[in-house]
Chains A and B, each alone.
Chain A
Amino acid sequence: MQTEALLHTPKAASEPILAVENLKAYYTTKAFGIDRDIRAVDDISLTIAKGEIYGVAGESSSGKTSLIKTIVGAIRPPLHVVGGSVCFNFEGQAYNIYDLGPDELQTIRWRHLSYIMQGSMNVLNPVRRIKHSFFDFAFAHMGLDRATFWDKVREHLRRLDLDPGVLDSYPHQLSGGMRQRTTIALATVCTPEFIVADEPTTALDVIVQRDVLTMLRDIQRDLGSSFLFVTHDMSVHATVSDRIGIVYAGRLVEEADTPTLFRGARHPYTQHLVASLPKIGDATRRASLSGRPPSLADPPAGCRFHPRCPLAMDICSKQVPPLNPLAPRHRVACFAVSGATS
């Protein structure tokens, strides 16, 4: 897997299809007199280029899912955006997600921006046949007559090695892998320019995982879409992602091209994630990180990683390290790396 990752060629940073700036989103809960803010997305900035597969990695409950929900505008109370902006660029036109009305948002969904949800087991309406989902999601966006539409859908399914017979099934009649692949087919049937995939392989067994990943890679090659690919599994990132951002406790701590990240990670947390991967011919015991990820309701002051960090210094518990460019296309938020001068 490692060697395959090295074959990725960094895509030229043309105009970005997505620009996220200083995005902050908190869960605010108020129950029986206790107010709490959970800072699930805390000041994140990133850009994604056309045709790029951008991976987001991090432990569970590090805020990955909240980040992408905020990016696609799928937030619901108690999660709400506190600051920052999310701007997509489709066919030369800018769409600022949080400036759009519900109708405008609805028109770009699926046509330009689609989403493969985490826990795809329950994303299809359990009481209706799958063809109804295809119709509801895609028909209005494709602007075809019914016969042509269904031809297109069947052709798309066949291209993804799926039997068009799934259209007449109910979700509970399909296996987990089939359901996930059907969901991916549903998410890609309108040939969107930007696809968000949240842990698309997590609940699947290894063989099915490989099928699904191959499928996603093929789609990306055929459609030339950009992907925002989220998983906690670093080996999946090594296979799929062009560039990876590491999220820790709601913040982006390091971001680099996949080869750079796997060979020359600088943030101690990233180094730990990479080092914990198994390597062929290396039988040494993997060290685990002491401590647990912090509570987002009451994160530690300064760098959120400092209580678990082997390189922690005085300043780390007092100031928040900025995400500084270390080299072109490589950003790190760590005082031990960038120096404590900023």
Chain B
Amino acid sequence: MTAYLIFVARRFGQLLLVVFLGISATFFITHMTPVDPVAETISVITNFSKADPEAIELMRKTLTELYGLQGNVFEQYISFWSRLLRGDLGPSLSAFPTPVSQIIFRALPWTVGLMISATLISFLIGNALGALAGYYRKSRILKIVSLGLIGLQPIPYYILAFILLILFGFVWPVLPIAGGYEMNADLTLSFSLVLDIIRHSILPALALVLVGAGSWLTGMRALTSNIVTEDYVTFAELGGVGSTRILRSYVVRNALVPQLTGLAMSLGAIFNGTVITEIVFGYPGIGTLLIDAVHAGDYSLVLGLASLSIVGVAIAVFLIDILSPLLDPRIKAE
């Protein structure tokens, strides 16, 4: 037990390091450029209406304070962290003065929901097919299905989502290709709303599953075909243990540990994919919000989204990491 706690503590240290490096990177990226967010903001606002110089000066003062840009770089860095730890990401510019955190948390459930369901589906399908394809190596159907999924795997998320959009938007328009729900939907919880949300999530999820399943399949198939040569599998076969039992309790059970580590390691990439897919389908999550923020020149929203993505993914990686020793009794502290 203490060994497990040491393991968790180490992983937690790694989590803190990821967050520290990631957030520092975002801070310094935004500060290494000559772009002055305050001037940017003022120019965006004054684009639409003429303001007198006094009002602009007042605005400049307020914005400098809001963005935490007083003092030298080091002071700014410290104040950036302290505001971040309080969950204060500043006000959004495009929806001034709504706090950025409030806007992000409105979009977050869409992204998290899409990402979790698509990841679960592709992880389950990919691993199940991979285990079967690695164990029943002669099956023709499994070979064809594997080939199809593996062939889709290298295609960038954007392109695959785009192809689905063309297929289901122009060639065979049966599914909604944009948004998270019908434009004029009644947003009180009802069966039809849930159904509508599911219908809208099918294409984005399908894009993610089609790209994701192939890599789980390849990994699982390789692991399976290595594990079936292990002594404990041969021994179980000689022991007359049934083949479904061998596949489930001996092969898959042992392959799951490295696959789970793989899931933790590729979570960042999966998040990228989710965000990109959202953009293609105009899904109302983090991705679409990020693009809108860029186009609106919303400095604090972009910064907030980048920071939050890093923290969110790092925490998810940590949670998956500390799960793996529960599957493999041999992993204690490394």
* Chain A neighbourhood of B105, CB < 8 A: none
Contact assessment for B239 and A125 in the assembled complex, using a CB-CB cutoff below 8 Å: no
Q: Is B230 an interface residue (CB 8 A)?
A: yes
B230 in complex: contacting residue of A110, A111, A122, A172, CB < 8 Å = A122
How far, in angstroms, from A49 to B227 measured CA to CA in the complex? 36
A124/B239 in contact, CB under 8 A: no
Minimum CB–CB distance from B318 to chain A (whole Å) comes to 22
Shortest distance from the beta carbon of A304 to any chain B beta carbon, whole Å: 28
A contact residues around B237 at 8 Å (CB): 74
A132 lies within 8 A of chain B by Cβ? yes
> Does residue B257 face the partner (Cβ distance < 8 Å to A)?
yes
Smallest beta-carbon distance B202→chain A, Å: 36
Decide if A126 is an interface residue (CB 8 Å cutoff): yes
In the complex, A18→B301 CA distance in Å? 79
A140, CB-defined interface residue at 8 Å: yes
Which of B238, B241, B328 lies in contact with A127, CB distance below 8 A? B328
The 8 Å CB contact of B249, one of A72, A105, A132, is A132
A contact residues around B232 at 8 Å (CB): 122-126
Tell me which residues from 64 to 107 in chain B have a Cβ below 8 Å from any Cβ of chain A.
none
**CB of B234 to closest CB in A, whole Å:** 6
Docked Cα-Cα span, A169 to B115, in Å, equals 38
Contacting pair B239 A114 (CB below 8 A):
yes
Chain B CB within 8 A of A314 CB: no
Contact yes or no, A123 B242, CB < 8 A: no
Cβ of B327 < 8 Å from any Cβ of A? yes
| CB atoms of B254 and A125 under 8 A apart | yes
Chain B residues within an 8 Å CB radius of A111? 240
Given A122-B231, A125-B249, CB of A172 within 8 Å of CB of B330: yes
Contact B239–A110 (Cβ < 8 Å): yes
Chain B residues in 8 Å Cβ range of A124: 232, 235
> Smallest Cβ distance from A103 to chain B, in angstroms?
10
- Chain B contributes a number of interface residues (CB within 8 A of A) equal to 23
- 0 or 1 for each of B218-253: is its CB under 8 Å from A? (1 = yes): 000000000001111011111111100100011001
- Name the residue among A109, A119, A123, A132 with the largest chain B CB count within 10 angstroms: A123
What residues on B are CB-neighbors of A114 within 8 Å?
A: 238-239
Q: Point out the residue from A119, A127, A132, A136 that lies within 8 Å of B257, measured CB to CB.
A: A127
Q: What is the minimal beta-carbon distance from B86 to any residue of chain A, in angstroms?
A: 43
Number of A interface residues at 8 Å Cβ cutoff, please give it: 33
Docked complex Cα distance between A219 and B235 (Å): 20
Find out whether the CB atom of A136 lies under 8 angstroms from the CB atom of B329.
Answer: no
A150 in the interface (beta carbon within 8 A): no
On chain A, the residues within 8 Å of B230 by CB distance are 122
Q: Which one of A72, A120, A127 contacts B329 once the chains associate, using CB atoms below 8 Å? A: A127
Which residues of the other chain, A, contact B253 by a CB distance below 8 angstroms?
Answer: 125, 127-128
Question: Are A127 and B235 interface neighbours, CB within 8 A?
Answer: no
Given the complex, which residues of B lie within 8 Å of A136, measured CB to CB?
236, 239, 241, 245, 249
Minimum CB–CB distance from B103 to chain A (whole Å) comes to 45
A107 on the interface (CB 8 Å rule)?
A: yes
Within residues 108 to 148 of chain A, which ones have a CB less than 8 A from any CB in chain B? Answer: 108-111, 114-115, 117, 119-128, 132-133, 136-138, 140-141
Is the Cβ of B234 less than 8 Å from the Cβ of A117? yes
B329→A109 contact, CB < 8 A: no
Query: Chain B's nearest CB lies how many Å from the CB of A109?
Result: 3
The chain B residue sitting closest to A196, CB to CB, is: B238
Bound form: Cα–Cα A109–B329 in Å: 29
Q: How far is the CB of B245 from chain A (nearest CB, A)?
A: 6
Asked if B257 contacts A74 (CB within 8 A), the reply is no
- Closest chain B residue to A169, Cβ basis: B329
Q: Which residues of B contact A137 (CB under 8 A)?
A: 236, 239-241
What separation, in Å, do the CA atoms of A25 and B241 have in the docked complex?
Answer: 25
Q: Which residues of B contact A106 (CB under 8 A)?
A: 240, 242
Chain B residues with CB under 8 A of A172: 329-330
B257 contacts which chain A residues (CB < 8 A)?
A: 127
B233 and chain A: residue at smallest CB distance: A125
Q: How far is the CB of B159 from chain A (nearest CB, A)?
A: 35
Residue in contact with B238 in the complex, picked from A72, A120, A121, CB distance below 8 Å? A72
- A167-189: which residues lie under 8 A (CB-CB) from chain B? 170, 172, 186
Chain B contacts for A128, CB-based, 8 A: 249, 253
**Complex alpha-carbon distance, A115 and B232, angstroms:** 12
Q: Which residue of A lies closest to B243 (CB)?
A: A102
Please give me the residue from chain A that is nearest to B253 by CB atom.
A127
A69-B261 Cα distance, complex, nearest whole Å? 35
Q: How far is the CA of A114 from the CA of B236 in the complex (A)?
A: 11
Q: Which residue of B lies closest to A72 (CB)?
A: B238
List of A residues within 8 angstroms of B229 by Cβ:
76
Is there contact, CB below 8 Å, between A117 and B329?
no
A138 proximity list for chain B (CB < 8 A)? 239
Report B-chain residues with C-beta under 8 Å of the C-beta of A108: 240
- Contacts A126-B330, A172-B329, A172-B330 hold; do A117 and B235 have CB atoms under 8 A apart? yes
Q: Give Cα distance in the complex from A133 to B242, angstroms.
A: 12
| Nearest B residue to A138, CB-CB | B239
* Contact status of A170 and B329, CB under 8 A, knowing A124-B232, A125-B254, A128-B249: yes
A and B contact pairs by CB, cutoff 8 A, 16 listed = A72-B238, A76-B229, A107-B240, A115-B239, A119-B231, A123-B231, A124-B235, A125-B250, A127-B253, A127-B254, A127-B328, A128-B249, A132-B249, A136-B245, A140-B242, A141-B240
- Other A-B pairs, 14, CB within 8 Å; known A109-B239, A136-B241: A117-B231, A121-B231, A125-B253, A126-B232, A126-B254, A126-B329, A127-B254, A127-B327, A127-B329, A127-B330, A128-B249, A136-B249, A138-B239, A170-B329
Return the 4 tightest CB-CB contacts between A and B, nearest first: A109-B240, A137-B239, A123-B235, A122-B231
A residues in contact (CB < 8 Å) with B: 72, 74, 76, 105-111, 114-115, 117, 119-128, 132-133, 136-138, 140-141, 170, 172, 186
